[in-house]
Amino acid sequence: MIPEDPQSQAALIMGVGKMVRDRTLRLQSSQSHRSGRRALPFGELTMAQSLAMMAVKDQGPLSITALAGLLAVSAPSASAMVERLVERGVLVREPDPRDRRRVQVRLSPEADQDYDHIYEFILQDFVRLVERIGPDMARKWCEVMLAVRAVIFSDQGPAGERPADRRPAAAGHGGTSR
């Protein structure tokens, strides 16, 4: 039964959102553990570290200050998180080509490759989910997601729109967000 009041609707949407998040995290963890590839610790990252990794993947090389801003944490917290991710081989530090005094971080080549592999694995799981709910329901789901995205973008305003929400087609993910 579909709830009628906004509070119950919001609770249902939030609950299913958590289920989707948990399913994605389980898939990410299981795939990173069972892949025959190098063992980058994606399944062992904290939520904050996973968000940092995704921000760097989506945005490209970032300064610590920019990463801190995206994650809504202090620069010292972002710096400590980056240090742990560098030690684990997930991120690498490099001089900013525009200002050699500054440092920026990017995904290591191995982490970038593994991220793409895990992304494709999770995407295929979502393809199976979409196929199971059928084309009409999948179309409705897409309509809802587009409407939610539009509201979120309008809440953020023009300065709040993040390029991460508009993946370049050259990245091999068809111009969709992650």
Give the C-alpha separation, 50 to 58, whole Å: 12
- Across residues 105-115, what is the average pLDDT? 92
Q: Is the pLDDT higher at 78 or at 41?
A: 78
SS (H, E, C) 45-110: CCHHHHHHHHHHHHHCCEEHHHHHHHHCCCHHHHHHHHHHHHHCCCEEEEEECCEEEEEEEEECHH
Q: Which of 58-62, 140-144, 161-165 has the lowest mean pLDDT?
A: 161-165
Q: What's the burial of 67, exposed, middle or buried (CB within 10 Å: 0-12/13-18/19+)?
A: buried
Predicted confidence band of residue 164 (pLDDT cuts 50, 70, 90): very low
In order of start, what are the domains of the chain with their CATH numbers? 15-133 (1.10.10.10)
Tokens of 30: 């299981």
Q: Is the pLDDT higher at 78 or at 160?
A: 78
58-79 tens-digit pLDDT: 999 999 999 999 999 999 999 9
* Predicted TM-score (pTM) of this structure: 0.69
Tokens of 132: 């199971």
Sheet-wide strand order for 91-96: 62-63, 99-107, 91-96
